[in-house]
Amino acid sequence: MPARRRKPEAGQTVMIKRGGPGGPRAVGKGAKLDPKTLKRLLGYIFKNYKLRFFFVFVCIIVNALAGVAASLFLQELIDGNITPLLEKKMQGQTIVSDDFIPLLWTIGRMALIYAAGIICAFLQQRLMVTISQGVQKSIRDEMFEKMQRLPISYFDRNTHGDIMSHYTNDIDTLRQMLSQSIPQAFSSLITIVSVFIAMCSLSLPLTGFVILSLFVMMLITGKITGKSGKYFIAQQSSIAEVNGYIEEMINGQKVVKVFNHEEPSKEAFDELNEELYVNAREANGFANTLGPINNNLGHLQYALIAVLGGALAIFRIDLLGQTLKIGGIASFLQLSRSFTMPINQIVQQFNFIIMALAGAKRIFALIDEEPETDEGYVTLVNAKKNANGEITESEERTGMWAWKHPHGTGEVSYTPLKGEVTMNDVDFGYVPEKIVLHNVTLYAEPGQKIAFVGSTGAGKTTITNLINRFYDIADGKIRYDGININKIKKDALRHSLGMVLQSTNLFTGTVMENIRYGKLDATDEEVYAAARLANADDFIRRLPKGYDTMLTENGAQLSQGQRQLIAIARAAIADPPVMILDEATSSIDTRTEEIVQKGMDGLMKGRTVFVIAHRLSTVKNSDVIMVLEKGRIIERGNHQKLISEKGRYYKLYTGAFELD
């Protein structure tokens, strides 16, 4: 279970409790725009797409003005062209073809304006697709690049499903905001301003009435928007929780079935899904009522304007020097509809922008995570010996490695890579207030096999994590070939270490590509040799396409033992001087273990090896066996010495061959 869940006490049923529908998490923090997040998000646009974004807004302005101009043309069309023709007809005058020329010119100008609007709308959409997809690509690249530099502790604190939600759900909300919401909001704003000016030019009294009705509309929609916005924010968090839980259940489906945990799992999921349902229902429920409410208010306003405008036109009422005719009323009615519609659109897009900014804030939280620090300056280089027997750096691969150690005086010294590891009085805690390793001291000479045994949680894997510098120690010293590992660059340190874990990770690709993962420039022959060393060659060649067999879903078509053999071959091809085997044979049956052990012996020959094992039979031939308990080394020595002392190791060995 992830760290965010409280561990059950003895006898309790495992249930996952979170804020329910009425709890604080279902409410969120309110529907407010985050200016910093919005500014940072727009920075991605201005950095790479400034010119295109400028043309988008030019197109938006032209399109908005085209709509307003088309509405105003109704006045000219009716009052300046159609009405005179009707009056001439009513007076009994003959209408000739030349009388239609002004009407045709007016219609032609309207057609050109509409054409300009259509072209600009098309260009706007095309440009925004390019911009939004480009911004998403940049953010995904930045997230993934940052993820590669995050410490292991980040992935211990956050579920994989929650991290995946950044790449899927959160990015998708950004796509909608960038491609639709922001352009729509700006277009609506331009339309509102231009329509307002046009309405004022036609009739100030009717414009005042529109503003009054708009004020009433905004009071109603403002309250609804405030309620829906906070639920949209909570919805984003709920989606991440659901994704994280589903990812856990998919990975642990065998465990769920083995322990008949289907019903509790369903109950826990129902709780999470209920929370998502409530947040989504409230968010979309409030948001979806905006359209019908605003539409009906708009229809009421439209009818009232028609009545008032008709009265002004029929009775020829002159207010503030403005007299309306039929064409003016038609234009004003069209403009009033164009005035309220963009306001409704802004209100509707506001919630999408809020939701997208909530997703962007989660994305930027990942990007802003502190990367894995590395103050090391000692690097690993290809080396050779000159005529005087001194070690120097080589530009070509020689098979010999050395630590390149620059000094403050400007001099550079080279220390041969041998694989000597020492720990002196090391203390460590995953959190400062809880120390899990106490005063650990060990010496591993080149070529020695060091074994760690002890109960679960004794600190065995923690020691190997410290050697890799997945975590940094609280006190003491760890030295590698006499060099403090804090001075060694982490990539150089890990390049010199090979590791085979209990949980095997195979990537989508061929068997050969998975083995070559340990050394990307390895030849096919080197891959075959590594597989033979790990005793994996035989079963690989029996696969449908041998080394070219495609593996998917972490090698689901292979047995656990076969996956482990490939992982061992991957470590073998890296050919490091130090190997860490963390329960490397725990997933292999006894018969397979005997086969693998011969390959392991070849793999360990000439290397410093740290072995973590529950099967004590696999550590009997170790040079030094260290027994850990509660983060302390309580016994050390070889098998014969520890047996003769008749301490903890003796009791474990004579009582059972496997630790509980």
DSSP for 25-42?
GGT-S-S---HHHHHHHH
Position 453 in a domain:
yes
Q: Any bridge partners for residue 551, and if so which?
A: 509
Q: pLDDT: is 479 or 180 the higher one?
A: 479
* Total count of domains within the chain: 3
Residue 169 and residue 203 in one domain: yes
The fraction of the chain above a pLDDT of 70, given in percent, is 87
pLDDT bracket for residue 590 (50, 70, 90): low
Domain shared by 264 and 141, yes or no: yes
User: Is 613 a member of any domain?
Assistant: yes
Both tokens of 155, joined, read 């992935």
Asked, for residue 455, whether it belongs to a domain, the answer is yes
Is residue 279 located within the same domain as residue 153?
yes
Q: Determine the 3-state secondary structure of 139 from DSSP.
A: helix
Q: What is the CATH number of the domain that holds 481?
A: 3.40.50.300
Helical spans, DSSP H, in 426-536: 460-467, 490-495, 511-516, 524-533
State the number of CA atoms in the 13 A half-sphere of 414 facing the CB.
17
Nearest to 244 by CA among 145, 166, 141: 166
- pLDDT interval class at 657 (50, 70, 90): very low
What is the pLDDT averaged over residues 138-149? 91
Q: What angle do CA 168, 174, 177 make, to 5 degrees?
A: 145
pLDDT band at residue 9 using 50, 70 and 90 as cut-offs: very low
SS3 for 437?
Answer: strand
**Residues 223, 302: one domain?**
yes
On whether both 462 and 576 belong to a single domain, the answer is: yes
Query: 290 and 388 share a domain?
Result: no
- Helices 326-367 and 50-75, packing angle to 10 deg: 160
Contact in structure between 205 and 305 (CB atoms under 8 Å)? no
The two tokens of residue 553 are 């879903």
Flag whether pLDDT at 24 surpasses 60: no
- Residue 528: its pLDDT value, please? 93
Question: Per-residue confidence at 599, pLDDT binned at 50, 70, 90?
Answer: low
Provide the token pair at 560. 């656990």
Beta bridge partners of 497: 578
372 domain-assigned: no
Find, among 392, 577, 573, the residue nearest to 496 by Cα: 577
**Would the pLDDT of 660 be above 70?**
no
Q: Read off the pLDDT of each residue in 23-40 and give the average, rounded to a whole number.
A: 60
Q: Would you say residue 157 lies in a domain?
A: yes
Instruction: Name 580's bridge partners.
Output: 499, 610
Rounded Cα distance, 425 and 630, in Å: 15
On the question of pLDDT at 252 being above 50, the answer is yes
Q: Is residue 162 part of a domain?
A: yes
> pLDDT by residue (tens digit) across 39-79?
898 889 888 898 998 999 899 999 888 888 888 777 777 77
pTM of the model: 0.68
257 and 112 part of one domain: yes
Six-digit token string for 295: 């539409």
Give the C-alpha separation, 431 to 445, whole Å: 31
pLDDT of 28 > 60? The answer is: no
Residues 434 and 524 in one domain: yes
Burial of 540 per CB tally in 10 Å (0-12, 13-18, 19+): buried
Mean pLDDT of the chain: 81
pLDDT per position as a tens digit, 75-113 = 777 777 777 777 777 776 666 676 778 888 888 888 888
Tens-place pLDDT, residues 411-425: 899 999 988 999 999
Residue 573, burial from CB neighbour count under 10 angstroms (0-12, 13-18, 19+)? buried
Instruction: Please state which of the ranges 373-377, 504-508, 603-607 shows the lowest mean pLDDT.
Output: 603-607
Dihedrals φ, ψ of 414, to 5°?
-120, 125
Q: What is the CATH number of the domain that holds 266?
A: 1.20.1560.10
Higher pLDDT, 36 or 654: 36
Single-letter code of the amino acid located at 42: L
pLDDT bucket at 592, cuts 50 / 70 / 90: low
Is 614 found in the same domain as 524? yes
- Gyration radius (Cα) of the chain, Å: 37
User: DSSP 3-state assignment of 459?
Assistant: coil
pLDDT at 625 over 80: yes
Strand runs (DSSP E) across 516-587, as ranges? 550-551, 578-582
Residue 184 lies in a domain: yes
Report the run of H or E that residue 632 belongs to, with start and end: strand 632-637
Give domain status of residue 611, yes or no.
yes
Tokens of 658: 């496997």
Domain that holds residue 300: 34-367
Residue 263 exposed, middle or buried by CB count within 10 Å (0-12, 13-18, 19+): exposed
> Helices 590-604 and 560-574 sit at what angle, rounded to 10 degrees?
0
529-559 tens-digit pLDDT: 989 888 889 899 999 999 999 998 778 888 8
Residue 201 backbone zone (phi > 0: left; psi -120 to 50: alpha; other: beta): alpha
Q: Which residues contact 117 (CB under 8 A, 6 or more apart)?
A: 62, 63, 66, 67, 70
Q: Is 451 in the same domain as 486?
A: yes
Q: Indicate whether 487 and 502 sit together in one domain.
A: yes
- Give the least confident one: 111-115, 144-148, 334-338: 334-338
Check whether residue 356 and residue 460 sit in a common domain: no
Strand pairing report for 412-416 and 401-406:
antiparallel
List the one residue out of 136, 188, 239, 235 whose CA is nearest residue 348.
Answer: 188
CA-CA-CA-CA torsion sign (421, 427, 431, 434): positive
